[in-house]
Amino acid sequence: MLVLKQDLKILMKKKLQAAGLQEKHAEGVADVLLHADLRGIHSHGAMRVEYYAERIAKGGINVNPTFTFEKTGPSTAVFDGDNGAGHVAAKEAMDEAIKMAKESGVATVGVRRISHSGSLSYFVQQAARKNMIAISVCQSDPMVVPFGGAEAYYGTNPIAFAAPGEDGEHITFDMATTVQAWGKILHARSKNASIPEGWAVDENGETTTDPFNVHALLPIAGPKGYGLMMMVDILSGVLLGLPFGNKTSSMYHDLSESRNLGQLHIVINPEFFTDLRAFKRNITQTMNDLNHIKPAKGYDQVSYPGQRSAWKEKKHEENGIEIVDDIYAYLASDVIHNNAYDDKDPFAK
């Protein structure tokens, strides 16, 4: 069903508060989730609320965290999220990184001990709106077979990038290092829809189109995606002294436990390298150049990274967001959670 963005945000915020999250943090989490749904990334939007609500209610997310920020060098710092809401910690850490980059030109901020933080495009766009370039990477629980392997070791370990153009436009790139994010499998399950061949494998290591038979995901472009997810794990796990690889905490194992995840923000101030107006003009020129590339057969236009999501965002701003009926019914109900996720095998039905 179609839901207006402001109504959806209120529903999500209220549910998170009912689970125990303080109002300011519930507002922050709902804002990141709404961003995902507006841009058509429904795997990281409203469908995640019940999972968060259950983890909050069971104590796996610290509802009264003490965030700390420690500068470790002229352009480096560590933000400790005290296992509070990952969305809020990552957002505040990005705010600090932006401030540092304004002064030093470049900032690298490690975000330690957080819960799941949602769609990374939200955080890099924070920086783009402040005329900064940003890269963000984060860990996720192991559910991907490495190239040539038959057992899961790394997570979907996403990477996001954004750069500002003119008139408030920006290029945004946000991807899992798997062919698709695990949330896309969950979204397919919620709609009882099949998935494309090549996204995932079953328990025998054979590709499957049934989201309920998924045993593990596949890295994008084989060994190349495998290398990228390794890089992300080192930058957001090993570098920050956190559990890494198949020792990274599970999203579903014991929701009363904290997850201790890591994320890394890198922010670059273009003014330390070139004229800012020229930079933004050239980013916009890049966008226009890509739009005017002759399209291949079957395509009506070449889009620049993030453009299709921006189109969806504008459409959803105007017309409302399509939310699965069952998810809306849960959000509108008095139920905090249905005890559906604790110790759940993510690959099980």
- Give the pLDDT band (50/70/90) at residue 185: confident
From the list 34, 30, 25, 28, the residue with the least C-alpha distance to 3 is 34
Domains in the chain: boundaries: 2-275+309-332
Whether 265 is a known active-site residue: answer: no
- Give the pLDDT band (50/70/90) at residue 4: very high
Average pLDDT, stretch 153-165? 96
pLDDT given at position 347: 65
- Give the pLDDT band (50/70/90) at residue 326: very high
> What gap in Å lies between CA 179 and CA 97, rounded to an integer?
30
Contact of 127 with 98, CB cutoff 8 Å: yes
- Give the pLDDT band (50/70/90) at residue 206: confident
pLDDT at 348 over 70: no
Predicted confidence (pLDDT) per residue in 233-255, tens digit: 999 999 999 999 999 999 988 99
First and final C-alpha spacing in the chain: 24
Q: For 200-214, what is the HEC assignment?
A: EECCCCCEECCHHHC
Q: Which of 93-107, 195-209, 245-259, 260-274 has the lowest mean pLDDT?
A: 195-209
Predicted confidence (pLDDT) per residue in 34-57, tens digit: 999 999 999 899 999 999 999 999
Q: What is the signed CA dihedral for 156, 159, 160, 161, rounded to 10 degrees?
A: -160
pLDDT at 207 over 90: no
Taking phi over 0 as left and psi of -120 to 50 as alpha, with beta for the rest, 62 belongs to beta
Dump strand ranges (E) for the chain: 2-3, 68-73, 76-80, 106-114, 133-138, 159-164, 170-175, 200-201, 207-208, 216-217, 261-268, 321-322
pLDDT given at position 22: 97
What are the tokens at 190? 């919620």
Supply the mean pLDDT for the chain.
Answer: 95
> What gap in Å lies between CA 78 and CA 67, rounded to an integer?
11
Q: CB neighbours of 141 closer than 8 A, spacing ≥ 6?
A: 155, 248, 249, 250, 251, 346
Amino acid identity, position 102: K
pLDDT at 333 over 80: yes
Contact of 44 with 188, CB cutoff 8 Å: no
pLDDT given at position 70: 98
Average pLDDT, stretch 208-219? 91
- Give the pLDDT band (50/70/90) at residue 215: confident
Q: Domain 2-275+309-332: give its CATH code.
A: 3.30.1370.60
**Beta carbons within 10 angstroms of residue 16's beta carbon:** 27
Average pLDDT, stretch 288-307? 97
Q: CB neighbours of 345 closer than 8 A, spacing ≥ 6?
A: 252
Q: For 49-110, what is the HEC assignment?
A: HHHHHHHHHCCCCCCCCCCEEEEEECCEEEEECCCCCHHHHHHHHHHHHHHHHHHHCEEEEE
Average pLDDT, stretch 147-170? 93
pTM of the model: 0.93
> What gap in Å lies between CA 315 and CA 312, rounded to an integer?
5
Question: Across the beta sheet with 207-208, what order do the strands follow?
Answer: 207-208, 200-201, 216-217
Average pLDDT, stretch 228-232? 97
Going by the DSSP 8-state scheme, the letter that residue 178 receives in this structure is B
- Give the pLDDT band (50/70/90) at residue 211: very high
- Please identify which of the residues 25, 42, 87, 116 carries the catalytic annotation: 116
Question: How far are the Cα atoms of 148, 187, 189, 214 from residue 184, in angstroms, in the given order?
Answer: 23, 5, 9, 12
